[in-house]
Chain A
Amino acid sequence: MKDKHITEILDNASIATLSESELNDVRAHVLECMSCRGAFEAARISGVVMKSRAQAAIEPSPFFQTRVMAALREQQAVESVPAMLRLWSSAKALVSTMAVTTAALAVVSFMQPAQTTSVPEQTASVYSEYSVILDQDADDQMSYEQVLSTIYEDEDDAR
């Protein structure tokens, strides 16, 4: 046994469960085999950390039972509602918004009077090609008094 490496024994069972004779064989071997000494030390410390990890169990809080029962009731409530109703309850907000938007668009399209795009006549006449070519500006026209004075002035000159 002294010449046989012990890694197989170490990997087969935890050191804590080895029998006394097995442990004696292991101890005798590791005194002479450096690589198995390292393996034995590693296996021994691994056993300690695994025990420590197993002891790190978390205890349930006092509210855990209440929390589970609430979750169970919620789950049962969801399961008791028919599928179509569940679909409706999740989609009703979207459907309602779409309906309101459609109604608003319908009101805007059909109820509001149509706006005419005709140009006022006055504006048209002012800017028509006829008026632009033939009409004179009001400032260029003579007043009535100017016409009379011009006529009488011509008659006086003739005399």
Chain B
Amino acid sequence: MDLDLARQAQDGDESAFAEIVRRYSPRVFSVASRFFRQRTLVEEAAQEVFLKAFTQLGSFEGRGSFEGWLTRIATNTCLNMVRGAKRRPEFTVSDLTDDEQGWLEQQSAGDGGEPASVETSLVATDLADRLLSVLSPEDQQALLMIDGEQASIKEVAEATGWSESKVKVRAFRARRKVREAMEKLLSYKKKRADSAAD
């Protein structure tokens, strides 16, 4: 079915390609959202993915799923866009906001359940971006897919084109770096809370 659509689109059937865009936009947006937080950037990346996919339709032979093929294009396109973008600010603990401090205290005291409200979810997402800034874009991918989306090593390997051992190494390294960064944040939070109490 997907192969037929791809062939029709390649032969110039505009409605076939429109159907591909409609069917796979959520998947491409989901991939692009791992790399970007702003809607405009996510849309720009997704559009780039579909334009690239259109020019490469001939290379899809129908061996794997069309979604898998498109996901790999999306991942590589977004990785290239992130690599070409200007560097993000480096990880620091001193600019921890009050909201973040409060959220961390709540998590330390509780059982580490998922954030309840939209507001706390935004704080958690901001904290995640802060932690992810210590990683390379490739390591971020591996960690977000495995620990965030509960993807398997094999799924990450298929989406990125990396070997499974490479994915494991990236995930291990990313997890350790993020854990160490979080330990620094928690330690800073504790110091700040102690000094406020004095």
Contacts and interface: CB of A to CB of B under 8 A. Distances in A.
Interface of A: 7, 10-12, 14, 16-17, 38-39, 41-61, 64-65, 67-69, 71-72, 75
Contacts of B28: 60
Contacts of B107: 45, 48
Interface in B71-116: 104, 107-108, 112-115
Q: Which interface residue of B51, B104, B175, B186 has the most chain A CB atoms within 10 A?
A: B175
30 contacts: A7-B176, A10-B179, A12-B172, A12-B175, A17-B150, A39-B183, A42-B180, A46-B179, A48-B114, A50-B144, A50-B148, A51-B114, A52-B114, A53-B148, A56-B121, A56-B125, A57-B33, A57-B34, A58-B39, A60-B25, A60-B43, A64-B25, A64-B46, A64-B47, A65-B22, A67-B43, A68-B21, A68-B46, A71-B47, A75-B51
A65 B46 CA distance: 10
A46 B182 contact: yes
Given A10-B175, A54-B145, 9 more contacts: A11-B175, A42-B180, A43-B182, A47-B112, A53-B129, A57-B34, A59-B29, A60-B26, A68-B50
A36 B176 CA distance: 13
B5 interface: no
Q: Which 7 A-B pairs have the closest CB atoms?
A: A54-B148, A53-B128, A52-B124, A42-B182, A60-B25, A57-B33, A49-B128
B88 to A, nearest CB: 14
Contacts, number: 136
A38 B182 CA distance: 10
Contacts of B47: 64, 67-68, 71
A46 B42 contact: no
Secondary structure dominating the interface of B: helix
Contacts of B148: 50-51, 53-55
Nearest to A38: B183
Interface of B: 14, 17-18, 21-22, 25-26, 28-30, 32-34, 37, 39, 42-43, 46-47, 50-51, 54, 104, 107-108, 112-115, 121, 124-125, 127-129, 131-132, 143-150, 172, 175-176, 178-180, 182-183, 186-187
Nearest to A70: B47
Contacts of A71: 47, 51
Contact of B124 (A12, A53, A67, A69): A53
Contacts of B127: 49
Contacts of A61: 39, 43
B18 A45 contact: no
Q: Which interface residue of A7, A46, A72 has the most chain B CB atoms within 10 A?
A: A46
A67 B47 CA distance: 8
Given A11-B179, A42-B179, A56-B125, A50 B29 contact: no
A16 to B, nearest CB: 7
A11 to B, nearest CB: 4
A77 to B, nearest CB: 13
